[in-house]
Amino acid sequence: MLSVKKDQKSFMAKFKLSYIAMLIVLILLAISALPNLYPNKSWLHVSSAPHSETKTVPSTKALVTFLNSQGLEVEQGLDKQSTINILLNEPTKSAQAQAAIKAQYPNTQVKIVEHATSPPWLQNFGLSPIKLGLDLNGGVLFVLDVDLDKAVDEQLVSAYQQAKSIIVKQKAHGLKAQQTGHGFEINALPNSVQKLNPVIDELQSRFANLAVTTSNNGNLKNVKFSYSEQGRSNFDKEVMSQTLTTLRSRIEELGITEAVTQRQGKQRIRIELPGVQDPTEAKRIIGATASLGFYQLKEIGGQTFNMQSGGTINLDPVPIFTGDHINNANIGRDDWGKPLVQLSLDGQGGDAMSAFSKANIGKPMATVYSEYSQNAKGEVVKKSEVINVANIAQHLSSRFSITNMKSQQAAADLALLLRAGSLTAPVTIVHEQTIGPSLGSENISNGLAALMLGMGITLAFMALWYRRLGLIANVALLLNLTSLVGLMSLLPGVVLTLPGIAGLVLTIGMAVDTNVIIFERIKEERRKGRTPYQAIQEGYKQAAKTIFDANITTMITALILYGIGYGPVKGFAITLALGLITSVFTGVYVSKVLSQTLYLKLAKKAGINAHA
């Protein structure tokens, strides 16, 4: 009796703080898991299209009547200022309703938006359900190939054009630039060698990754410019990073907030758009490789460009500034009602525009629109054409407009691309897949059914085989699942996929495996003659090392899968890795506290016979 009381006091003193800490962690994770009981619903947001001549939309009653007549029953319709929000009885038909509304009312803009259904106090904490992947929520998958070789070629051509411009600007007579197979070179006559260094320094300040090789060719000094292996590697990294940033900006401009955009391999990008069922607009904007440049006209020499209206025009090959310096772009109309794009430049672009316009009032400036496309042979080619030539009427600064756009839609597309940024390398959609929401719903049902079946059998086995300890294992298992769901809901960037549900089922098995190892150790200690309390202590202590070793090796595998995998594989790896963490937490620490607490209560109740 005295021994039990002593053990009880020792246990309470040792585990009081850890017990409270565990309880706090479990409560927080349980709260973060709660929003999953309230799945988001897809609403239709109907408003007037930005490029529409009329800014009116049909009434809520008219929309509801129309959708009901199409067999798309409406559960709720709300009028929110200039937007009408529609909720269908079957939200999986939202994409079908979106297409029907666009066909019936061409001047409307229809977006599918996820609305939270959880209680306001959960939303106030910023808590939301686990984000679902394409195979569970439906949506569109794009895999894009980034043509890095073409980007390098374009960069070398730009460097060559600028080299010629620098030679003219510095009046470096005796220097001549010419293109070669893998770059370009500058040749210097013997009496002009001293003029080489200033030209090379300015070129390298503009193109940091260029490698310079100097040699003598008879009386001529030859300087070759190309990309070294390290320079090419740095350039490729910069291009891929810029492409990822630009694509994410374009997706945000489309109003898609749950997209997953990640690098896949050396030069491919994977884009997942959950919930998107109409890929037409997304494909048109994501795959566009448009860029914009502003050039000075050259009456003699220069580079020849085609004009959109027909004919050709000669321009200075070096732009005054490019679309990289555009901060914002919006559509509007001029005094005659024709569409235009209003631009706002950053500090560097504004300074360049201010200096150029001040020195060239009354002279023309051309706007060149460039895009990449595939020809009949499948080759990527660049097409550049002048979309606008306008005289500079006054001193301009960081704000001005591009006029004479072909249509309001063309102006809207150009404004969107300029806001999101231009791509320095052409991208090609090499794979496209659309998954319907009904298939996603079926995957969720089947996945959850497998999860519940596996969990039910496991709980029954543990309760029957290990009795009291089995009940503790079952409590720990339920806490493990709750903690894992809460952790996945809490961490940004975690997406649940169908293989992720398989990871949940696997986590249950691994969590039970942890308890089985511990309980068998406890049985061994009991056979050695130890008291129940001592057997529990020794069982958890002896099994901990084995459990940690096994979970660490599995964690290494999960991290490798996460590092090299994509899409569903990455989703499985995330679930597995997080499941390992929660399994060790609940299976080793939480269940140990529960076991010792249960023993002490039984010991206190049974008195002197409890430690036998």
Task: Render pLDDT for 85-126 as a digit per residue (tens, 0 to 9).
Answer: 888 887 777 777 877 887 888 778 887 777 888 888 888 888
Q: What is the pLDDT of residues 229-242, one digit of tens each?
A: 888 888 888 888 87
CA-nearest of 448, 598, 568, 449 to 39 is 448
pLDDT above 80 for 171: yes
288-433 under CATH 3.30.1360.200, yes or no: yes
* Cα 591 to Cα 19: distance, rounded to the nearest angstrom: 11
**Residue 55: pLDDT band by 50, 70, 90 thresholds?**
low
pLDDT at 556: 92
pLDDT at 437: 64
pLDDT at 102: 79
pLDDT above 50 for 609: no
**Residue 611: pLDDT band by 50, 70, 90 thresholds?**
very low
pLDDT at 610: 42
* Cα 25 to Cα 316: distance, rounded to the nearest angstrom: 65
Q: What is the pLDDT of residues 185-195, one digit of tens each?
A: 888 888 888 88
CB contact at 8 A, 270 and 401: no
CB contact at 8 A, 469 and 602: no
pLDDT above 80 for 589: yes
Strand 380-391 and strand 303-307: the pairing is: parallel
Q: Which CATH number fits domain 2-37+436-611: 3.40.50.150, 3.40.50.300, 1.10.3720.10, 1.20.1640.10?
A: 1.20.1640.10
Residue with tokens 């090392």: 545
Neighbours of 290 (CB within 10 A): 17
* Cα 15 to Cα 478: distance, rounded to the nearest angstrom: 22
The pTM (predicted TM-score) of the whole model is 0.64
pLDDT above 60 for 416: yes
Please write down the HEC assignment for all residues of 102-136.
HHHCCCEEEEEEEECCCCHHHHHCCCCCCEECHHH
105 phi and psi angles, rounded to 5 deg: -125, 85
Strand 175-180 and strand 303-307: the pairing is: unpaired
pLDDT at 296: 87
Where does 286-444 show beta strands of DSSP type E?
291-296, 303-307, 312-315, 321-322, 326-333, 339-345, 364-374, 380-391, 399-402, 427-435
Residue 492, both tokens: 């940004």
CA 230 from chain center: how many Å?
A: 28
Q: For residues 290 and 57, which has the higher predicted lDDT (pLDDT)?
A: 57
What percent of the chain clears pLDDT 70, i.e. is strictly above it? 86
**Residue 507: pLDDT band by 50, 70, 90 thresholds?**
confident
What percent of the chain clears pLDDT 90, i.e. is strictly above it? 2
* Cα 389 to Cα 385: distance, rounded to the nearest angstrom: 11
CA-nearest of 270, 285, 268 to 414 is 285
pLDDT at 440: 67
Neighbours of 568 (CB within 10 A): 17
CA-nearest of 315, 325, 406, 319 to 364 is 315
pLDDT at 612: 42
Residue 389, both tokens: 């030539």
pLDDT above 50 for 275: yes
Across the range 160-183, mean pLDDT stands at 83
pLDDT above 70 for 3: no
Q: Which of 195-199, 230-234, 326-330, 471-475 has the lowest mean pLDDT?
A: 326-330
3-class secondary-structure state, position 157: helix
pLDDT at 31: 92
Across the range 327-354, mean pLDDT stands at 78
Residue 128, both tokens: 């939301």
Q: What is the pLDDT of residues 533-579, one digit of tens each?
A: 778 778 888 888 888 888 898 899 889 988 877 767 888 888 889 98
Strand 399-402 and strand 339-345: the pairing is: antiparallel
Terminal Cα-to-Cα distance of the chain (whole angstroms): 11
**Residue 393: pLDDT band by 50, 70, 90 thresholds?**
confident
Residues 6+ apart with CB under 8 A from 113: 42, 43, 44, 45, 255
